[in-house]
Structure 1
Amino acid sequence: MKKVMSPLVIAVGGVSGGGKTTVSNHLHERLSNSKLLHFDDYNFEGPNDIIDWVDRGANYDEWNLDPFIRDINTLLKESLDYIFLDYPFAYRHTKTSEFIDYTVYIDTPLDIAMARRVLRDFNENSNESILSEMKNYVAQGRRGYLEMLKSIKPKSDLIVDGTLYLPVIGEDIIEAISTITEHP
């Protein structure tokens, strides 16, 4: 955890399908006077081949997150209590980490995260496209998920069980952040 300023900037991370967006939305709804930014709402410049990026050491600073950073800066000027970031990188991106006060990692088993992802992203797709995605995951995509477990999870301030009922996850996070002393 870093030095806390008002508003408190909380990044919620985890693997794709792990519950980042669901938990971030829940926290935003539960805690008034908050704003929420979703990483997936941006079209960032970054590595073209994620597996190659992972194999080269997963340098998170290769991602140009300037539009995201601009929006965080804008929100920091508002009279807010919380800024939630639905954001997978936690403290790993140098420029963005300067703004983050607290990180939460949603620890969801990879099989559950993959099942959620298939249900979310392939609902209207053919069996062939689902099978193709599963083959890609087994052949190489899983390495991206394992990178998150290796480098994001251990550096997070709070790790919550992603299999728990959403209100329980929310309460665990709210309880943890309520213990943080905020500066006026």
Structure 2
Amino acid sequence: MGRVSWRSHRDAIRSGLRSLLTSAVLVTAYYLLPLDRTFNLATILVLVGGIVAVALLLAWQIREITLAPRPELRAMEALATTAPLYILLFATTYYLMGRSGASNFSETLSRTDSLYFTVTVFSTVGFGDITPHTEAARVLVTGQMAVNVLLIGVAARLLVSAVQRGRLQQNAPEPGAGGTGPPYDG
């Protein structure tokens, strides 16, 4: 195996391990943080603030992807941070909502149930075993579905574009290097 190939594999392994570690830390924090508050307007404001923070984090990561020596690996790390953080924001909100009123969902939600429900909504699988029963719960789930569409559609497109821009920047000749460039069509 050549030197470049080994370096490439090593970078991919490091990036994969960082991604796995980031996700593991976020999920561990979700299970360990004390979530003993009630669901109220402040919870919704924290959720909205969290979504804004995820959007800002994603915007910063997109910039970093374009500057990274391996933009595709940086994009993988960005997804490994952004997606779990987004999912855990909703899981926390559903957990608090479930604790505040047993009638909000078809069953009492543990942290695992809340995470499971969030992932089924995010992935659009919707098994139907856990369902929102109150209008407030349905509005929250509808909000997640709407943001999911934006996150999956817009964010995915932005990440792919950032990887493409990063690759183009790596292949661009240095200013003043006298590169040949594309032929002139006149």
TM-score of the superposition, structure 1-length normalised?
Answer: 0.29
Task: Return the structure number with greater strand share.
Answer: 1
Higher relative contact order (CA 8 A, sep 6+): 1
- In terms of Rg, which structure is larger? 2
